[in-house]
Structure 1
Amino acid sequence: MNIAIGTKNPTKVNAVKNVFGQEMTYYSFDVPSGVSSQPFSDEETIQGAINRSEKVCKDEIDLGIGLEGGVTETDYGLFLCNWGALSSRSLEKPIIAGGARILLPEEIARVLKEEKIELAEAMERFTKKEDVRSNEGAIGIFTSEILTRTAMFEQVVRMLYGQYLFHQNR
């Protein structure tokens, strides 16, 4: 099976490979999400995942996977959110799944809202580390790496793959 991933970010690519296994053929493409660089709602984050999955699902590709991280405002504060989409020519519309959420510290939420920067940039300032998005991610930092960014996206990919298998077996 040929699987295309709508990113070159190693945390997302590894999440897909960890779930689908080594017997698949993988292609990763740096495609635009078509949404803000920092999605600020579930709807925008979902749309980014769908856009990525659809852009890479063409020609000899069996499955296109799009994974998108964002934030969403609630009455309790600003939460980290993550969504995924799986596209296939055998499906009428993409399959969608969401994953873990965690309340962001007020100092991070404030910077995101006031400065309109990406969470990755805010995390680099906060941690004084480089390329947090390609490593443990905000989720890894705020959970003391009990849950890493790769593991968080693996959960989403497992839900996508499970739904895909369900649809194929109907």
Structure 2
Amino acid sequence: MRVGVGSRNPVKVAAVEAVFDAREARVEPVVIESVAVESGVAEQPVGERETLAGAENRARRAAVGRDLGVGLEGGVSDVPDADGLYLTMWAAVTDGETTGRGSGPRLQLPESVARRIRDGEELGPVMDDALGESDVAKKQGAAGALTDGIIDRQEALEHAVAGALAPFVTDFYDRG
């Protein structure tokens, strides 16, 4: 089975590999291919709808010529009935006919970070600045930084991918 991941980000690719490795002993061998595709959304997606749309766009584009396409997108969102701005992550998996969707954990952003994002900055560079590091998004991510490593970006994305893969690994979903 050939699976395209709509990203060159090594953390996103590793998350998909980990999910498929967990299943590989029970199913056919899987070849994971990283594919540079456009998300079709803003560099800093805002809101669940835009973040999910980015994941779906990436999955559709990565699926071309492959058995499955996987798209992952991180964004920020106001959550109804919860104060603050939250980090959110969505995954989509498609075979061109069926699309599964799953999300990772939501983490409330510190007000100092949220304020900068609301002023138009992107989360990755804000976290780089706050931590005095570079490429945080390609390492532990905001999730790792905000939880002091209890979970990292890869683990959070793995949960989203596993959820999105559900229609393809069980009979509970109508794939018609």
The TM tier, using the shorter chain, reads over 0.9
Question: What are the superposed Cα offsets for residues 63-97 of structure 1, whole Å, 9 maximum, x if unpaired?
Answer: 000000000013501000000100103x3x42111
1:163 and 1:45, CA in 2 relative to 1: closer, same or farther beyond 3 A?
A: same
Distance in 2 (alpha carbons) for counterparts of 1:98 and 1:169: 17
Which one-letter code corresponds to 1:27 in the other structure? E
User: Structure 2 vs 1, CA of residues 162 and 126 (structure 1 numbering), >3 Å: closer, same or farther?
Assistant: same
- Map 1:118-157 to 2 at 5 A: 118-157=122-161
SS of the residue corresponding to residue 35 of structure 1 reads coil
Quote the sequence identity (%): 34
Identify unmatched segments of 5+ residues in structure 1: none
Instruction: Choose which of 61, 71, 77 in structure 2 pairs with 1:72.
Output: 77
2 CA distance for matches of 1:97 and 1:168? 15
Moved over 6 A (4+): none
RMSD value, Cα:
1.6
| Deviation at residue 13 of structure 1 after TM alignment | 0.2
Post-superposition offset of 1:166: 2.3
Report the counterpart of residue 106 of structure 2 in structure 1: 101
**Aligned length, in residue pairs:** 166
How many Å separate the matches in 1 of 2:99 and 2:58? Answer: 11
Note the C-alpha offset of 1:167: 4.9
Aligned match of 2:32 in 19, 26, 29? 26
Larger mean Cα displacement after TM superposition, 3-12 or 13-22? 13-22
What one-letter code is carried by the residue in structure 2 that aligns with 1:54? R
1:46 match: secondary structure:
helix
Deviation at 1:162, TM superposition (A): 2.4
Task: Work out the CA distance in 2 between the residues paired with 1:147 and 1:11.
Answer: 13
Within 1, Cα distance between the matches of 2:13 and 2:166? 18
